[in-house]
Amino acid sequence: MVLSRGEASVPAADRVPGARTSRAPEDSQREEPRTMDYRLLGRTGVSVSPLCLGAMMFGAWGNQDRKESTRIIHHALDAGINFVDTADVYSAGESEEIVGEALAGGRRDDVILATKFFIPMSEAPNERGGSRRWIMREVENSLRRLKTDYIDLYQVHRPSPDTDVEETLGALSDLVHQGKVRYIGSSSYSASQIVEAQWAARDRRLQRFVTEQPPYSILVRGIEEDVLPTARRHGMGTLTYSPLAGGWLSGRWRKGHDTPTPVSPARQRLVDRFDMSLPENQRKLEVVESLAQLADEAGMSLIELAIAFVINHPAVTSAIIGPRTMEQLESQLPAADRTLSTEVLDRIDALVAPGTTINPADNSYGAAELTASARRR
């Protein structure tokens, strides 16, 4: 079934109205944190902001000015964001280093810090994946780069068809018992993989995934049909990534305008998502034009409309925003205060039907299952 949307961003029981970020030591340069409605992260009892600061663009993949990246992180925290997400693979560990430097000096305890493992970190065959061998080694590397004694949320970046989920859960459970990790989560898992992991954790009395991190935007709505309702049934928090659909909903790609080049290193391997010769991408351009008009009529920017659409879904806990510059962060922050009317949501549904992804290349799960060798031939 498709999980229906509502005007309220989250159920009333999952909201923490009027909560504020805690203050770090006095700093005359620091802004007064604003009031924000925080949300419960699944059934953990932890409260997080509806916007999560993604750090993929800090470092060689995006903003190479480490001081500027630190300023962006601090500004996000001052604006009320208390949730930061990164990964070991982002800029080959540099993103984690920048986040660690930014949180040093009294800010670490104010933040729910999330990172991920799994994607290859080198050409070596065992410096990747979900094996106990790699998890136990790589968590130490992430702790060192992040300059912290513990990770709040340690996530498997992708599922592995070659690794028993009990192997991964067993290693992660040991890290929780050791105090190096507080909670564990998955990323880009299909609904069936989410269920398999939940059952394995229950049957083997292991720590369970308390969050799922899938792609979600107006242009990429496939998870509404199965992933979101499945995660919700299992009491999982959902932190979605790419609310701007890789820049498509930022206004960067518009009909009649030249395609921006070059594509960032993080996107070079995703050619089909940005190849304008594909009919699916031409369709996305048409939808973006209609959404830009809708946003203007609703009195907000296209960026605000796109992010508000994501965090208005009752099954979404937090949307990961990934600014590269301070200007981009400033353009995204107002979305936390936007509520979309039923009329606006209905008009979005008319453009992109619920549960629909216009270009399947924008999905980040199911690839292994759809290869020729895994199908009938």
Distance between CA atoms of residues 328 and 321, nearest Å:
10
Q: Is 245 left (phi over 0), alpha (psi -120 to 50) or beta?
A: left
Residue with tokens 């549960």: 355
Q: Which one-letter amino acid corresponds to residue 125?
A: P
In the three-class reduction of DSSP (H, G, I as helix; E, B as strand; rest coil), residue 321 is classed as strand
Give the Cα separation of 93 and 161 in Å (integer). Answer: 25
User: Given 38, 90, 183, 216, which residue is catalytic?
Assistant: 90
DSSP of 167-188, one letter per residue? HHHHHHHHHHHHTSEEEEEEES
Helix (H/G/I), strand (E/B), else coil: 15: strand
Q: What b/e sequence results for 110-149 when a residue is b if at least 16 CB atoms lie within 10 Å of its CB, and e otherwise?
A: ebbbbbbbbeebeeeeeebbbbeebbeebbeebbebbebe
Strands (E), the chain: 15-16, 38-40, 47-48, 51-54, 83-85, 112-117, 151-156, 181-187, 209-213, 237-240, 318-321
Residues paired with residue 113 on neighbouring β-strands, in sequence order: 84
Give CA–CA dist 270/268, Å, rounded: 5
Q: Is 90 a catalytic residue?
A: yes
Q: What is the DSSP letter of 333?
A: G
CA–CA gap between residue 101 and residue 145 (Å, rounded): 9
Taking a C-beta distance cutoff of 8 angstroms, is the pair 111, 146 a contact? no
Query: Which residues are catalytic, by number?
Result: 90
